[in-house]
Amino acid sequence: MGAIRDFIAAAMADGSLTDAQRRRLIRRIRAQQIRNALPAMPFTFTPGQFSITVESASFDAANDALTVVLSASRAGVPIPLDNPFVYINPPTHVPDPNGDYIRTDPKSGLVATFSEAPLLAFRAMVLESVRLQAR
């Protein structure tokens, strides 16, 4: 099991927490663990025709969220962005046919596999944010 899944499983199993406390703790784990997985900033990645630079990223303890400042361009043309970007309950897993996290849907029987990959999940999440604002 991945480290993040271990933390979340422990939160799920903690009978002393209320539902609201558990929800908040999971939210915190996800935001913190993603922040911990990020390289030194600023850093840039280039999905497709986008170039996205993560100028800063910080864990917001008051809201248990991840706050990110981005700049981006598409085919060399800067994209105006509504910074900062705040992520609540950010994803930590990505679809992966070889992943060890298996989710089975009881109705359809679908078996889906995921890998714990906070940096890849972060990139996908940020790309989505840029894609929406570049429309």
Partner 1 sequence: MTTTTVFGDASDGFIYYADASYANASTGVGGGGTAIDTTGTLIYAGAIPDVIEVLMAFLSFDTAGVPDAEVVSAVVLSLWGEQDNYVVDVTLEARDFDWSSGGLTAADWRTPTQLSALNLLASFPTTSFSISAYMDFTSQAAFNNYINKTGLTYFVLSTDHHRTATAPTSAPNGEYGSMWSADNTGTTNDPKLVITSAAAPSGQPTGKRWGGIPFAGGGQPGRW
- Of 4, 1, 49, 56, the residue nearest 30 (C-alpha): 4
Q: Does 10 bind partner 1 (CB under 8 A)?
A: no
Q: Does 105 bind partner 1 (CB under 8 A)?
A: yes
How near is the Cβ of 44 to partner 1 at its closest, in Å?
20
Decide: is 5 part of the binding site for partner 1 (CB under 8 A). yes
Which one, of 102, 85, 95, lies nearest residue 31 by Cα?
85
Nearest by Cα to 133 from 87, 75, 70 = 70
Decide if 56 contacts 46 (C-beta within 8 A). no
Nearest approach, Cβ of residue 135 and partner 1 (Å): 8
Site for partner 1 contains 61 (CB under 8 A):
no
Q: Contact region for partner 1 (CB under 8 A) — 26-34, 41-49, 50-58, 71-79?
A: 26-34
3-state secondary structure of 114: strand
Phi and psi at residue 72, to the nearest 5°: -155, 155
Contact positions vs partner 1 (CB under 8 A): 4-5, 8, 12, 23, 26-27, 30, 63-65, 81-95, 101, 103-108, 110, 112, 114, 116, 121, 124-125, 128-129, 132-133
